[in-house]
């Protein structure tokens, strides 16, 4: 018999796809993917990233959804139940704890960067009413980063938006936010790609994005490409497991929704690249080594130059903020669901506020690392980059590795087959061996090579 979740259920298959895509598509695609590509030499990074999505990301995405849908509760409790049911070591529950910690860490800096997009949206609103244009985007960006109060304000505003949705719960909160705004973002990106074509630099941009130069690649590149693959698909920290817990058993094929989500996410990242690099190149900016400011220092140049640029700028940063919003709620949801199971469903609001508050305070470290504490270095990184490194590049792949092993070795075949009932036996076998051997091995090699 199919259980339902105490947290509510998605009202339809489409809603789940929208929510999962909303989680996957976010700053990871539009802010992080372009500058990681830029900082890591272009084509070769993109190819490794695509390989990770296909061989590691997609199969683990399916595993997370199926584990969640079988368990129907927050990750920690789902794993507790499964461990009992399958008679395996309690140690597996650690996966859920990694997820909670990674979620809080990621949300802390995610909200800071999302705050930048709110600030830029606001700048374009001001321009509509006659405010000064962003004529020197580099200076505008630098002055934002140099202002801790401004950063803290937008970080707080964004965190508040996130808590509001999560406090309302699945049907009332999450679904409403994703229904219209995701498709709108997609259309806007397409328009920007078309604009990119008019610059005459699309060819060069494509070469930079897709022609691999293997000479610039080392162990660290593999680690960052893999971390990016996990980050962009919201994997390794039980987000997709949590969303899977609210997914009905009947009429929804996990392989299909998995492919839909992974494909959309990848398309958005590549589109973002094709939208941004022509602009970067046409304004004579060096595409290599753009850093986290890349979209903020390059795109405003294009908006300044194009007709109705202010409207585009407003829509772009506004929708990017929304995309970040539908992702940040999914960063907050797993830990919140866990606390709700502790305190009772009446206390969802309190649970969400507690976790978000903790994340917000941690985020202040990222805020300060951009200005007052910019000289502080941990393992050669500033504080924000260090938190990002620990959470994205280490914890997510580690969480994913354990999820793969858990799904591949600890879960019995009956459970897997019930969840993946529409998968032909041959594909099921391929998936199971990807989980058992291929994905864990690839992640392990990358982690070990990068650390040693
Ligand atoms: N996938 C989101 C993005 O690309 C970030 C995210 C990571 C969300 C992990 C949830 C969990 O922006």
> Alpha carbon 217 to chain centroid distance?
24
Q: Which residues contact 345 (CB under 8 A, 6 or more apart)?
A: 6, 7
- At 1, the pLDDT band (50, 70, 90 cuts) reads low
Rounded-to-integer distance, Cα 368 and Cα 149, Å? 10
Q: Which residues of 278-287 are buried (b: 16+ CB within 10 A; e: fewer)?
A: bbbbbbebeb
Residue with the nearest Cα to atom 9 of ligand 1? 234
Rounded-to-integer distance, Cα 386 and Cα 291, Å? 15
pLDDT at 173: 64
pLDDT digits (tens, 9 = 90+) for 227-257: 999 999 999 999 999 999 999 888 889 999 9
Q: What percent of the chain has pLDDT over 90?
A: 83
State both tokens at 419.
């969840």
Mean pLDDT to the nearest integer, 422-428: 96
Pocket of ligand 1 (CB under 6 A): 23-24, 26-29, 106, 231-232, 234, 237, 239, 327, 330-331
Cα 322 to ligand 1 centre (Å):
13
pLDDT at 449: 86
Torsion, Cα of 198, 201, 203, 206 (10° steps) = -110
Q: Which residues contact 18 (CB under 8 A, 6 or more apart)?
A: 175, 178, 179, 182
Cα 239 to ligand 1 centre (Å):
9
Strand partners, 378: 381
Please list the helix, strand and coil fractions of the chain in percent, rounded to the nearest 5, in that order.
Answer: 80, 0, 20
Mean pLDDT to the nearest integer, 358-362: 98
Q: Return the higher-pLDDT residue of 16 and 61.
A: 61
Query: Long-range contacts for 300-307 (Cβ within 8 Å, ≥24 apart)?
Result: 300/120, 300/134, 300/137, 300/140, 301/137, 302/192, 302/195, 303/124, 303/134, 304/133, 304/134, 304/135, 306/195
Q: Give the CA count within 13 Å in the CB-facing half-sphere of 213.
A: 11
Cα 135 to ligand 1 centre (Å):
32
What's the CA angle centered on 49, arms 46 and 53, to 5 degrees?
A: 135
- Given a cut of 70, whether residue 295 has pLDDT beyond it is yes
Mutate to test the pocket of ligand 1, among 20, 26, 334 (most ligand atoms within 8 A of CB): 26
What's the CA angle centered on 318, arms 200 and 304, to 5 degrees?
A: 40
Residue with the nearest Cα to atom 11 of ligand 1? 234
Rounded-to-integer distance, Cα 222 and Cα 217, Å? 8
Closest atom of ligand 1 relative to the 26 alpha carbon:
12
Mean pLDDT to the nearest integer, 150-177: 86
- At 179, the pLDDT band (50, 70, 90 cuts) reads confident
pLDDT at 70: 95
pLDDT at 251: 81
pLDDT at 182: 79
pLDDT at 128: 94
Q: Which residues contact 271 (CB under 8 A, 6 or more apart)?
A: 186, 189, 190, 193
Q: Which residues contact 93 (CB under 8 A, 6 or more apart)?
A: 76, 79, 80, 83
pLDDT at 174: 63
- Given a cut of 90, whether residue 180 has pLDDT beyond it is no
Q: What is the mean pLDDT of the chain?
A: 93
Rounded-to-integer distance, Cα 9 and Cα 15, Å? 10
Cα 323 to ligand 1 centre (Å):
10
Phi, psi of 41 (to 5 degrees): 90, 5
- At 177, the pLDDT band (50, 70, 90 cuts) reads low
pLDDT digits (tens, 9 = 90+) for 252-279: 899 999 999 999 999 999 999 999 999 9
Mutate to test the pocket of ligand 1, among 75, 113, 320, 327 (most ligand atoms within 8 A of CB): 327
pLDDT digits (tens, 9 = 90+) for 185-228: 888 899 999 999 999 999 999 999 999 999 989 989 999 999 99
pLDDT digits (tens, 9 = 90+) for 99-133: 999 999 999 999 999 999 999 999 999 999 999 99
- The candidate with the shortest Cα–Cα distance to 181, out of 328, 81, 325, 28, is 325
Residue with the nearest Cα to atom 7 of ligand 1? 234
Residue with the nearest Cα to atom 10 of ligand 1? 234
Closest atom of ligand 1 relative to the 102 alpha carbon:
9
DSSP class of 132: P
Is residue 61 within 8 Å of residue 254, measured between CB atoms?
no
């Amino acid at each position: 018999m199919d259980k339902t979740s105490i947290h509510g259920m998605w009202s339809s298959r489409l809603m789940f796809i929208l929510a999962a895509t909303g989680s996957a598509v976010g700053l990871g695609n539009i802010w992080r993917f372009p500058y990681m590509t830029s900082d890591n030499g272009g084509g070769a990074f993109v190819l490794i990233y695509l390989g990770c999505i296909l061989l590691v990301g997609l199969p683990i995405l399916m595993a997370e959804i199926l584990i969640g849908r079988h368990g129907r509760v927050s990750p920690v409790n789902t794993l507790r139940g499964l461990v009992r049911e399958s008679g395996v070591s309690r140690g597996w529950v650690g996966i859920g704890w990694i997820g909670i910690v990674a979620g809080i860490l990621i949300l802390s800096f995610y909200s800071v960067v999302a705050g930048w997009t709110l600030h830029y949206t606001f700048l374009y609103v001001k321009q509509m009413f006659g405010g000064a244009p962003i004529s020197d985007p580099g200076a505008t960006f630098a002055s934002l980063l140099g202002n801790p109060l401004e950063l803290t304000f937008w970080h707080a505003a964004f965190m508040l938006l996130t808590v509001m949705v999560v406090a309302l719960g699945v049907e009332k909160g999450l679904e409403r936010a994703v229904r219209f705004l995701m498709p709108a973002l997609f259309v806007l990106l397409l328009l920007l790609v078309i604009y990119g074509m008019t610059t005459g630099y699309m060819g060069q941009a494509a070469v930079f994005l897709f022609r691999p130069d293997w000479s610039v690649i080392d162990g660290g590149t593999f680690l960052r490409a893999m971390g990016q693959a996990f980050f962009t698909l919201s994997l390794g920290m039980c987000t997709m497991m949590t969303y899977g817990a609210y997914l009905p058993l009947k009429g929804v094929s996990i392989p299909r929704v998995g492919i839909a989500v992974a494909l959309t996410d990848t398309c958005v990242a590549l589109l973002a690249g094709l939208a941004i690099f022509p602009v970067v190149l046409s304004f004579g900016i060096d595409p290599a080594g753009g850093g986290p400011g890349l979209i903020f220092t390059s795109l405003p140049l294009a908006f300044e130059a194009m007709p109705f640029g202010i409207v585009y700028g407003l829509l772009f940063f506004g929708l990017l903020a929304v995309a970040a919003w539908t992702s940040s709620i999914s960063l907050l949801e797993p830990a919140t669901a866990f606390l709700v199971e502790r305190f009772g469903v009446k206390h969802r609001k309190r649970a969400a506020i507690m976790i978000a508050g903790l994340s917000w305070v941690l985020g202040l470290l990222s805020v300060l690392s951009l200005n007052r504490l910019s000289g502080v270095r941990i393992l050669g990184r500033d504080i924000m980059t260090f938190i990002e490194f620990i959470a994205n590049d280490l914890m997510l792949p580690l969480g994913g590795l354990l999820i793969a092993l858990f799904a591949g070795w600890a879960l019995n075949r009956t459970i897997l087959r019930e969840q993946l009932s529409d998968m032909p036996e041959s594909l099921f076998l391929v998936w199971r061996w990807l989980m058992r051997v291929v994905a864990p091995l690839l992640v392990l090699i990358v982690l070990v090579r990068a650390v040693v």
